[in-house]
Amino acid sequence: MNALSDQNKHKHVDPGSTGCSVEAEPVWQGSSLAGIVPDKLLDEGETVILAIKPSLWFLAFGSAKTIGLLILVLLFAPYLADKLHPLGLSITVIVQFAGALMVLRLLMAVLEWFSRLYVLTDRRVMRIKGVFNIDVFECPLTQIQNTYLTLALHERVFKLGSIQFATAGTGIPEAVWQNINEPLTVHETIRQAIWRARKGREVPFL
């Protein structure tokens, strides 16, 4: 994979490529959470190839901006307390407020992590997320036009990556599997599943 910049690597793959053999088996060798996929999400006879969650680093990446801003607030707490003294805000109040916001943001990140699940079956790809409002993206494998594997700088440090999916209807990414472990292996498993699904239809992809 060629580096496109010092900040990010981006790999565009046309799933219609013939890099897989007919007898190819899924290359996924990591741990799968297939057992926790709700049966109501699966059609009769549908097989789960893999089901994974984001890396736990998802918690840090998702909270980084908010935590960073609150750390600045703590650093400038004496200055803010002086300026906001007429409002009755002391350094102690500011520190307690910033600390509470940090805890709440981390708690929200944990809930987001628990609610997120990425599923690949022999028929479709799914992304499930949402704490209060559940958002389910699903698309038949035969309708996925392109997949995009991205390895951002902060992901490469921890050997993570993200995979985006573009459907035949739009041609642009509509869903993403964020901060996943073993991104190259997972991506190859997805490519093979897409190829086998199209081969089963025996209809050229346009």
The CATH number given to whatever domain includes residue 150 is 2.30.29.50
Please give the structure tokens belonging to residue 21: 């053999």
Q: For the stretch 140-153, what's the b/e string if a residue is b when 16 or more beta carbons lie within 10 angstroms of its beta carbon?
A: ebbbbbbbbbbbbe
Q: Tokens 């699904």, residue?
A: 197
- DSSP class of residue 26 equals P
Considering the domain architecture, whether residues 71 and 103 belong to the same structural domain is answered as yes
Q: Note whether 42 and 123 are within 8 A (CB).
A: no
Specify if 130 maps to a domain.
Answer: yes
pLDDT of residue 74: 86
Compute the average pLDDT of residues 39-68.
90
Mean pLDDT of the chain: 81
Compute the average pLDDT of residues 41-57.
90
pLDDT > 70: percent of the chain: 77
Considering the domain architecture, whether residues 47 and 126 belong to the same structural domain is answered as yes
- DSSP class of residue 152 equals E
pLDDT of residue 177: 96
Considering the domain architecture, whether residues 131 and 93 belong to the same structural domain is answered as no
Residue 9 confidence class, pLDDT cut points 50, 70, 90: very low
More reliable by pLDDT, 45 or 11: 45
Say if residue 127's pLDDT is above 50.
Answer: yes
Please give the structure tokens belonging to residue 58: 């998802």
Specify if 1 maps to a domain.
Answer: no
Note down the domain range covering 27.
8-54+117-201
pLDDT of residue 160: 97
Specify if 3 maps to a domain.
Answer: no
